[in-house]
Amino acid sequence: MDDASRGEFRAKNEHLSKLTNVDYIQLNDNLGRTGIRNLLADKSLYRYLLFIDCDSKVVRNDYLSLYLPFCRAGIICSGGRAYLDAPSDEQFCLHWRVGVAKEVVSAEQRSIQPNKSFMSCNFLIDKDIFHTVKFDERLKGYCNEDTLFGIELDRNGIVIQHINNPLYHIGLESAADFLAKIENGMRNLHKIDRMLESDPLFVKSVTIMRCYHRLKKLRLPPLISIAFQITRYSIRKNLLGKNPSLKLYDLYKLGYLCHARNWPND
């Protein structure tokens, strides 16, 4: 399904409609990350849906076979994510370091808190379950629709199964583009927090929101916002460089979250 791309991309992808067992649909209006996933599920013909991000690469030749035993009623199964041994260029270093440190998690570790930090880049789901939850289309842009999806699964008593069947994440962003998306993600976190009225399940499920709410009780976000504005560009200089610090990355996210606390809920 083409999400209202420009003409040159439509022309490039026209041949997909000629492939056996492929339905290629072009949309005139852009639905975004959440809306198009929901529509794809609605249009699908069969019961079990496999979601794979387009910037992913298969790690194992038996990738599909490993998912087959989980094609059962009421099942959602996550395969996880992997990264190559090094980024192809230093401009991708921040994204690569963050991904390796925070997203490469074994099935055994993920199973301890199965619905926490859900990633939609690589998962199998029964269509009946998907129609019960779906992605929340009120969220726009990048980040945290996965977080809300995992929480809604939890709220409906649906537990995510985990297996070691990762895909390589090969679509790394430059540091500047990655930070822009992270900032959008922090704004989305505020939006979810307001939508759910600081629901304890949401706050408990997201580490940075737990930290933010602790700071909020101490009335510290305004001070952190001021500190963030003073240090923001020096921290960005490190994060955009050859040797970005993950500690500074975490501080940047928290500072941005505190700074964005009074922004309009767009």
For the beta carbon of residue 158, count every other beta carbon within 10 angstroms. 19
For the beta carbon of residue 22, count every other beta carbon within 10 angstroms. 9
The residue behind tokens 């079990």 is 48
Domains of the chain: 31-259 (3.90.550)
CB 149 within 8 A of CB 118: yes
SS3 call for 82: strand
CB 229 within 8 A of CB 259: yes
pLDDT in 10s for each residue of the chain, 266 residues: 999 999 899 999 989 989 999 999 999 999 988 999 999 999 999 999 999 998 999 999 999 999 999 999 999 999 999 999 999 999 999 999 999 999 999 999 999 999 887 899 999 999 999 999 999 888 776 667 888 899 899 999 999 999 999 999 999 999 999 999 999 889 888 888 888 899 998 898 889 999 999 999 999 999 999 999 999 999 999 999 999 999 999 999 999 999 987 655 44
pLDDT of residue 192: 87
Rounded Cα distance between 202 and 224, Å, is 22
CB 57 within 8 A of CB 166: no
- For residue 31, give every residue at least 6 positions away whose Cβ sits within 8 Å of its Cβ, in sequence order, or none: 3, 4, 39, 137
Backbone φ and ψ for 3, nearest 5 degrees, come out as -90, 65
CB 102 within 8 A of CB 247: no
Rounded Cα distance between 132 and 180, Å, is 32
